[in-house]
């Protein structure tokens, strides 16, 4: 039997999602508590990796078991024993063949950038108080939908079989409190890709690059041409669609 878990986490205290020996990760933390509650070693498979410090407002994973699970009770118990920076939203049974990672059709990331320093947003937004041209940033973001090779935003030595991604949405909006919110959706993302894109788009907004130069960065397929990645604290995996 296979069960899906929907969850959220604040990634500030973790070295990303993926389990690592003697290192605090979200996957490792949940597996330890799940195994303790079930009395048997239980591995979980996530929808994808998130890097050190990256958050998730919506994340999915699955685990397998030979016996039926009281999902409401397990959800309650997991939330009682997990640290406050990880929350289980729900657990539900799925078809045995449904896979949290391989069956995902689309993933969405959201990035938050705020011009206002706030001690309460230090784990959830990038404090950046330089004036930015949002129209230019959106014009540049629209160019992402035209291309599919994002080598210029791919972390080196990631062992990707391909750097091809199909982006279906990429846009900035300004919220009522002045926070800038960037949303991007694609069938897949490369390691560090969203943070590299955000960092480069911010440089478009402050006038370092034109929209045409941003387009050329993508076409050149050269990581050295893109800007430094935006801080992890502002990035959230915000949706996974199946």
Q: How far apart are CA 102 and CA 72, in angstroms?
A: 26
Average pLDDT for 153-167: 85
CATH code for position 60: 3.30.70.580
Instruction: Kindly state whether residues 195 and 225 are assigned to the same domain.
Output: yes
Q: Can you tell me the mean pLDDT for 4-22?
A: 96
Q: Domain containing 164 — which CATH number?
A: 3.30.70.660
The helix (run of H) or strand (run of E) holding residue 211 is helix 211-220
pLDDT in tens, 54-82: 999 999 999 999 999 999 999 999 999 99
181 lies in some domain? yes
48 and 119: one domain?
Answer: no
The predicted pLDDT at position 161 comes to 83
Same domain, 212 and 113: yes
Locate tokens 């330089």: which residue? 130
DSSP for 135-177 reads HHHHHHHHGGGT--B-GGGSPTT---S--B--EEEEEEEE-TT
* pLDDT tens digits for range 103-146: 999 999 999 999 999 999 999 999 999 999 999 999 999 999 99
Confidence at residue 160, expressed as pLDDT on a 0 to 100 scale: 75
Query: Does residue 194 share a domain with residue 119?
Result: yes
Mean pLDDT of 43-63: 97
- Region of 207 on the Ramachandran plot (φ > 0 left; ψ -120 to 50 alpha; else beta): left
Q: How big is the CA angle at 61 (ends 56 and 63), to the nearest 5 degrees?
A: 155
Query: Per the domain annotation, does 101 fall within a domain?
Result: no
Quick check: is 100 in a domain?
A: no
Q: Which residue range is the domain that position 202 belongs to?
A: 106-241
21 closest CA partner among 12, 10, 5, 32: 32
Give the pLDDT confidence score for residue 156 in this predicted structure: 72
Active-site amino acid positions: 51
Please check the confidence at residue 158 and state whether its pLDDT lies above 70.
no
Co-location of 75 and 127 in the same domain: no
Whether 214 and 112 share a structural domain: yes
pTM of the predicted protein model: 0.95
């Amino acid at each position: 039997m296979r069960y899906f878990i929907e969850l959220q986490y604040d990634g500030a205290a973790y070295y990303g999602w993926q389990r690592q020996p003697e290192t605090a990760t979200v996957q490792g933390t949940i597996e330890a508590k799940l195994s303790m509650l079930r009395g048997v070693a239980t591995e979980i498979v996530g929808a994808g990796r998130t890097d050190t410090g990256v958050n998730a407002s919506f994340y999915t994973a699955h685990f397998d078991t030979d016996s039926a699970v009281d999902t409401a009770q397990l959800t309650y118990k997991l939330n009682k024993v997990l640290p406050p920076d990880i929350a289980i939203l729900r657990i539900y049974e799925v078809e045995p063949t449904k896979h949290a990672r391989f069956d995902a059709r689309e993933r969405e990331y959201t990035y938050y950038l705020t011009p206002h320093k706030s001690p309460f947003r230090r784990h959830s937004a990038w404090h950046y108080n330089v004036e930015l041209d949002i129209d230019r940033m959106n014009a540049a973001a629209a160019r992402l939908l035209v291309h599919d090779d994002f080598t210029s935003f791919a972390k080196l030595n990631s062992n990707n079989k391909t750097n091809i991604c199909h982006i279906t949405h990429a846009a900035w909006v300004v919220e009522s409190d002045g926070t800038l919110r960037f949303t991007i959706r694609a069938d897949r993302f490369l390691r560090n890709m969203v943070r590299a894109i955000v960092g480069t788009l911010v440089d478009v907004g402050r006038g370092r690059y034109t929209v045409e130069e941003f387009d050329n960065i993508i076409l050149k397929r050269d990581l050295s041409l893109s800007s430094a990645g935006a801080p992890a604290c502002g990035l959230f995996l915000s949706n996974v669609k199946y």
